[in-house]
Amino acid sequence: MAHLINDISRTFNEYLLIPGLTTKECTPDRIELKTPLVKFHKGETSSINLNTPFVSAIMQSVSDSRMAIALAGNGGLSFIYGSQSVENQAEMVRKVKKYKAGFVVSDANLTPEHTLKDVVELKEKTGFSTIGITDDGSSNGKLLGLVTSRDYRESRDNYGMKIREFMTPFAKLITGKPGISLNEANDVIWEHKLSTLPIVDGDQNLCYFVFRKDYENHKENPNELLDLHKRLIVGAGINTRDYRERIPVLVDAGADVLCIDSSDGFSEWQKETIQYTKENYGNDVKIGAGNIVDKEGFLYLAEAGADFIKVGIGGGSICITREQKGIGRGQATSLIEVAKARDEYFRETGVYIPICSDGGIVHDYHLVLALAMGADFIMMGRYFARFDESPTKKLMIGGTYVKEYWGEGSNRARNWQRYDMGSGDNLKFEEGVDSYVPYAGKLKDNLNITLGKIKSTMCSCGVLTLAELKEKAKITMVSSTSIIEGGAHDVILKDRGQ
């Protein structure tokens, strides 16, 4: 018979943290969330460190250039999804690397020949009310005008009306030139009482927008994740099929780190992909691998040369791998075993390989549990899919705003390479679903609340850093009845409107 593992496969819901001594020094403003992203040797530091221990999932519905810019600006990292053409993915990477804080590349553009209907549909799709009108409808075409919500009345105007009839023409716009500083741009905005200042070059091509509403966000952000050239750091997802063609293009575009995107990382295909990267780029190109759920899988990828390793199979909110194949393991159990293997490997070799917990997060306190159980950082999809910065549509369903969210293992994603078993190009069955998640607003606002909870919990554990959390945190298992006890019970809850 098969080898039987008697340990129960457990989830984060089955654990709680026990408080430690909270000293007077343990205050939220003193908490340090910096964490290594890629491997390093004992006595050294990682070449890339996250200031916030979160990365966004390698998914079409989560990680594009806009999400990457927003998350890096708040100390985390996005891996631009790889289930698209290498040209499109590389362009997203370049957009992040070229981004200058406060100078926004326009993602909502039309031509003068489009109609009001196109404006309304684009606004609903992107959430942007400021639309650049260019000669070719591109983000860097010749700027001919601007449309904002003040230029039309959605309830009264004819949807067939051409944009050229109601846009603010270029001749009436106040603009800035490339090279203007952010302070100078904001001075112009305040002096002329503008909402938006277009930045155009000598040929009248649109370069950026500077928005009045972003003024506060452009102040120096200590958590911003930057490279040595003060550019935002960005990752890119790859697969084990076309990596020989994809990796050189992504590296040339400026990707700081790569990650193999697969539901099962314990494979020779991943080993070959890692070895190709190391043989051709040495340590100049960092590459993560996974996903795995046990010591054996960790050691295999560690010896193959992975710079970090992702842990988790079947725990994602849109993942049905366990249902379809009976493959996977409870996220907490997986993480605890792999973290132990990581620490043993470090003691034996002097090489520390960060691990990423991928999946199983339902509540914010699960994040602290994952970090306490040994994760160096956490990858999330559903969490980030809810925000304005994710690439999907915002819709009204049943009177509630939602955003679309689908798995890379769904037919919609058509990401066959993620499930590469060495033969065939078609997905034989789905391992992900197509769904909605409740719309939550801006990333920064929600992330600040989540980080506040993490810092408060760490204070209750009596620790100031993630390293201390791993070392000193006390974790207890809970019964089903104690889970009920932990929520509101034996009371009649008031309606929020009362």
Annotated catalytic residue 259: no
Assign 49 to helix, strand or coil. Answer: strand
Q: Note whether 210 and 102 are within 8 A (CB).
A: yes
| Residue 150 is a catalytic residue | no
DSSP H or E run through 260: strand 257-260
Marked catalytic residue, from 259, 356, 418, 459: 418
- Sequence-distant (6+) residues with CB within 8 A of 177 are 199, 200, 201, 202
- How many contiguous H segments (helices) and E segments (strands) does the chain have? 14, 23
Q: How far apart are CA 56 and CA 50, in angstroms?
A: 12
How many Å from the N-terminal Cα to the C-terminal Cα in the chain?
61
Choose, from 26, 207, 259, 319, the residue flagged as catalytic. Answer: 319
User: CA 81, CA 33: separation in Å to the nearest integer?
Assistant: 25
Asked if 306 contacts 292 with a C-beta cutoff of 8 angstroms, the reply is no
**Where are the strands (E) in 57-205, listed by range?**
77-80, 109-110, 131-134, 143-147, 168-169, 196-200
- Report the candidate in 330, 331, 353, 329 with the shortest Cα–Cα distance to residue 342: 353
3-state helix/strand/coil string of 5-67: CCCCCCCHHHEEEECCCCCCCCCHHHCECCEECCCEECCCCCCCEECCCEEECCCCCCCCHHH
Query: Catalytic residues, which ones?
Result: 319, 418
